[in-house]
A and B are shown apart, each in its own frame.
Chain A
Amino acid sequence: AQKVTQAQTEISVVEKEDVTLDCVYETRDTTYYLFWYKQPPSGELVFLIRRNSFDEQNEISGRYSWNFQKSTSSFNFTITASQVVDSAVYFCALRSSNTGKLIFGQGTTLQVKP
């Protein structure tokens, strides 16, 4: 069975602080794919990143970075120098290579205060 856990329900930071969103997953698949999505207050779901289980290289995109550690089944997301526009709900998700199902965590609500 697949499971994604985002233990942080809500996080509040002040602008320019760094913040890390945690994601822990469970799967029996040897091949799988991990994702992060952003849901701003307007409600749409925006794809941020995909990582496959073979590639543990960390990725950086501007102020965003992702740390994938297979040994701890974690795929954490860090925002450096947060901005008010980063305020959103962030979802971590896991996709099985066997079934193709995409399963989401409960989401972390990030509030960045000016």
Chain B
Amino acid sequence: NAGVTQTPKFQVLKTGQSMTLQCAQDMNHEYMSWYRQDPGMGLRLIHYSVGAGITDQGEVPNGYNVSRSTTEDFPLRLLSAAPSQTSVYFCASGWGQKYGYTFGSGTRLTVV
């Protein structure tokens, strides 16, 4: 039982490049979310999904796209990377609204 798997763990991008951060969970969780963590800012919600085919914006969605074609996968796409997107990104999944999330181990992204 792998839980929530994020790949890659580290990535360096040049400004303007695009990339996809992968997130997969094997717990059949309906809810999945992406967060970014910056010093002094806590964890800020980028996008979230309540099930396959359903996504919604969080607090800081600009510059990011998501899709949820399956229950298991929730990739995060950076369309044109900017230095302001340098951050640690966490993917999380969970059951229903009552429960907390299980988090992946994070992706440390640097945009130069």
CB within 8 Å of B: which residues of A?
A: 6, 9, 33, 35, 37, 43-45, 47, 50, 52, 91, 93, 95-97, 99-107
Contacts and interface: CB of A to CB of B under 8 A. Distances in A.
Contacts, number: 62
A102 B33 contact: yes
A5 B31 CA distance: 24
Nearest to B42: A106
A97 B97 contact: yes
A52 B42 CA distance: 22
Interface residues of B, number: 28
Interface of B: 31, 33, 35, 40-45, 48, 50, 56, 58-59, 88, 90, 92, 94, 96-103, 105-106
Given A45-B90, A101-B58, A102-B33, A96 B97 contact: yes
B43 A100 contact: no
A102 B101 contact: yes
